[in-house]
């Protein structure tokens, strides 16, 4: 079995849920404290042993390529000011044994189409990861690393899943799993993209981490448009169920939907509270703000 060494980052979406911030900048470059979402996803991939970072970009996404490129002027400036630590950090965002590959998705025809743009660099017998950077994921062990470990045991594709309220199933790919299986891993029996609440087979949603069988690239080439007229990754995954098989994995950790403003606020608050340098100060600020809000509410009563 080949190890998972390549990860695809589909970053060509228009980010309409986050306007006006995303009018001219990609949503993946929105920063939580001081780091863009895409860098969180790249760090998670590197931790999992990924060496080939494959970005599927669209128009207005140049800043992503710039972010992962060298910046000699900035490097020289930082070093001249004695800020060698920051210069070294920036230089190692992409370690020297790793490489970045870019594909342009000319038209936003769906997530399945975006993933298929990277087909030229994925071999048929080669498993690969897909990370959706607007899902910011944290865990005691990085989520993709947890999934790679599962894949090493089974050789099957792995989808990260979590339970969501019934009212939200229409925003996700929803899986029906083998009820007999207990614990964090279960076999997927069916999967449907964004079903209505009453037709959904469960409330177990696929979130933005996948380890997929290389053969899915062939399936994506012939995948007809599905939900919303888009070429859906979900529909091609369904075609793997009866072949090599798929596992749903309940990961150990949190996921923040940073494609939505409220999810982004939650992620920012959680990261601010956990920040080694600013955490204690942020906690004091939040307490003071809450006390002041409560005081105002009491006065108004």
Of the residues 46, 118, 133, 135, which one makes contact with ligand G1P according to CB under 6 A: 135
Write phi, then psi, for 92 (nearest 5 degrees): -100, 10
d(CA 132, CA 209): 7
Site string for ligand G1P, 80-119 (x = CB under 6 A): -------------------------------x--------
From the list 66-74, 83-91, 204-212, 245-253, the region that binds ligand G1P by CB under 6 A is: 204-212
CB of 176 to ligand G1P, least distance (A): 14
Does residue 219 belong to the site contacting ligand G1P (CB under 6 A)? no
Q: What is the dihedral of CA 268, 274, 276, 281, to 10 degrees?
A: 80
CB of 232 to ligand G1P, least distance (A): 6
Q: Where are the beta strands (DSSP E) in the chain?
A: 6-11, 31-32, 35-36, 52-57, 99-104, 128-131, 135-138, 157-163, 173-177, 185-193, 204-212, 246-250, 254-257
CB of 68 to ligand G1P, least distance (A): 22
Tokens 């608050």 appear where? 269
Of the residues 28, 193, 213, 247, which one makes contact with ligand G1P according to CB under 6 A: 193
Our CB check for ligand G1P shows the closer of 148 and 204 to be 204
Helix ranges (H only) for 23-71 are 37-47, 62-67
Exposed, middle or buried: residue 200 (CB in 10 Å: 0-12, 13-18, 19+)? buried
From the list 48-56, 147-155, 205-213, 280-288, the region that binds ligand G1P by CB under 6 A is: 205-213
Total number of residues that touch ligand G1P (CB under 6 A): 12
Of the residues 15, 26, 173, 214, which one makes contact with ligand G1P according to CB under 6 A: 173
Of the residues 29, 132, 148, 188, which one makes contact with ligand G1P according to CB under 6 A: 132
CB of 1 to ligand G1P, least distance (A): 26
Does residue 206 belong to the site contacting ligand G1P (CB under 6 A)? yes
What distance, in Å, lies between the first and last C-alpha atoms of the chain?
A: 66
Closest C-alpha among 101, 74, 99 to residue 88: 74
d(CA 48, CA 70): 23
Does residue 207 belong to the site contacting ligand G1P (CB under 6 A)? yes
């Amino acid at each position: 079995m080949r190890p998972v060494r390549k990860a695809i980052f589909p970053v060509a979406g228009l980010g309409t849920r986050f306007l006006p911030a995303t009018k001219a900048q990609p949503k993946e470059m929105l920063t939580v404290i001081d780091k863009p979402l895409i860098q969180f996803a790249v760090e998670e991939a590197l931790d999992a042993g990924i060496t080939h970072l494959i970005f599927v970009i669209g128009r207005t996404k140049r800043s992503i390529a710039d972010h992962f490129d060298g910046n000699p002027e900035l490097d020289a400036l930082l070093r001249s000011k004695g800020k060698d630590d920051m210069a070294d950090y920036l230089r190692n965002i992409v370690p020297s044994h790793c490489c970045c590959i870019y594909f342009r998705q000319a038209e936003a025809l769906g997530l399945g189409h975006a993933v298929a743009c990277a087909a030229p660099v994925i071999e048929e017998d080669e498993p690969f990861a897909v990370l959706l950077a607007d899902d910011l994921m944290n865990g005691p062990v990085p989520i993709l690393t947890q999934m790679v470990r599962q894949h090493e045991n089974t050789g099957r594709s792995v989808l990260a899943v979590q339970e969501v309220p019934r009212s939200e199933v229409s925003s996700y790919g929803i899986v029906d799993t083998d009820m007999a299986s207990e614990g964090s891993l279960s076999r997927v029996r069916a999967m449907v993209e964004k079903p209505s609440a009453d037709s959904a087979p469960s409330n177990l949603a696929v979130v933005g981490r996948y380890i997929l069988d290389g053969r899915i690239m062939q399936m994506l080439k012939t995948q007809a448009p599905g939900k919303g007229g888009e070429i859906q990754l979900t529909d091609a995954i369904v075609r793997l169920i009866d072949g090599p098989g798929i596992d749903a994995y309940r990961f150990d950790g949190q996921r923040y939907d940073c494609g939505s403003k409220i999810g982004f606020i939650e992620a920012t608050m959680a990261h601010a509270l956990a920040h080694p340098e600013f955490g204690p100060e942020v906690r004091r600020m939040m307490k003071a703000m809450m006390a002041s809000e409560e005081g105002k509410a009491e006065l108004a009563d």
